[in-house]
Amino acid sequence: MKIAVSGCLLGQSVRFDSGHKRDDFVMDELSEYAEYISFCPENMAFSNPRPSIRLVKNTDESLKVQSNKTGDDLSDTLSEASKKDLDNIAMHDLRAIIFKSKSPTCGIGSAKVYLENGFAAGKDDGVFVAMCKEKFPLLPMEEEGRLCDAWLRENFVMQLYSYDSFENFKVGANMKDLVEFHRVNKFMLQSKNDVLYRKLGKIVGNHEKKTFTEILSKYEFLFKTAIAKKSSKGKTRNVLEHMAGFVKSFLDSEEKMMLHEQIDDYAAQIIPLIVPLSTLKLYASKYEVAYLLEQTFLSPYPKELALRSNVKCVK
């Protein structure tokens, strides 16, 4: 699985002060499952060490890149280097991009913008991020700063693995495969957005008798849009209750009560998501409820990442 990553997060000494911002999650956890493609448009443009830069708002609201030391307009030089880095990462079959937060080049909506007089004028996407969003509108993208939040990290990794599963699935797929793909992703999609899940179901239903190529293309767009949505306590709780409905006929009243208590405790952030999910998995396995066992929502990514073991992975 190839992921493009800001070079400084990979521990490369490419920052303006020749330092780096090695990220533990990227380097020590996700690296087990991914191959990283590094980029650093600023280092390509200005090498290091170099004066720091900032984004400045022009009178026509457009943005320019300015040297903090000389005040020179460096927009064209950084833009050219960014295009080269964009071409470099685009040569790879990427599954996601992870950016360094707050940077005028790499920040996703977190790059500070200034007025000519030096006053703050809000925040925006960095120069390279804006280009990446235009080039890869549906690709999972996140900043390392936001990945410190357990809920955002879980959402990103779920999106990443769901995106990867679709990319792998679509190679040589036919209509029957798509029906199956939609079926096993039911609860994962509902945890993201139930309206989009239903729209995807209509696409798979194909009442207008479209060609498979048309169907797949519409499905891909909506699937990738759905997995980019964030889960919530309410949506996840609904999914858990729905899943519990598949095993309830096998359980005695005490077991049912315990399962519902676990779901309540999860929603109250007393226990992590992994607890009710493990109980559901146990019952699905014991009573051979294949429909549940096949759901990607039960195991969307390697369990070693332990993202659902944190009570804070909910909002």
Q: Which residues bind ligand SF4 (CB under 6 A)?
A: 6-8, 14-15, 40-43, 100, 103, 105-106
Dihedral Cα 229, 92, 176, 224, nearest 10 deg? 10
Element (H, E) at 67: strand 63-67
Judged by DSSP in three states, 197 sits in helix
Least distance CB 41 / ligand SF4 (angstroms): 5
DSSP 169-195: HTTT--HHHHHHHHHHTHHHHHHH-HH
101 or 279: CB nearest ligand SF4: 101
227 is written with which tokens? 């997995």
Region for residue 234 given its phi and psi (left: phi exceeds 0; alpha: psi -120 to 50; beta: otherwise):
alpha
CA distance 288 to 293: 8
Among residues 224, 248, 105, the alpha carbon closest in space to that of 164 is found at 224
Least distance CB 299 / ligand SF4 (angstroms): 33
41 or 276: CB nearest ligand SF4: 41
Contact 13, 76 (CB under 8 A): no
- Burial label for 286, CB within 10 Å (0-12, 13-18, 19+), is exposed
Please calculate the CA angle 189-4-113 and round it to the nearest 5 degrees: 90
Least distance CB 37 / ligand SF4 (angstroms): 12
Least distance CB 121 / ligand SF4 (angstroms): 20
12 or 232: CB nearest ligand SF4: 12
29 or 143: CB nearest ligand SF4: 143
Dihedral Cα 234, 240, 242, 248, nearest 10 deg? -140
Least distance CB 32 / ligand SF4 (angstroms): 22
63 or 188: CB nearest ligand SF4: 63
129 or 289: CB nearest ligand SF4: 129
Least distance CB 49 / ligand SF4 (angstroms): 11
21 or 199: CB nearest ligand SF4: 21
Least distance CB 77 / ligand SF4 (angstroms): 13
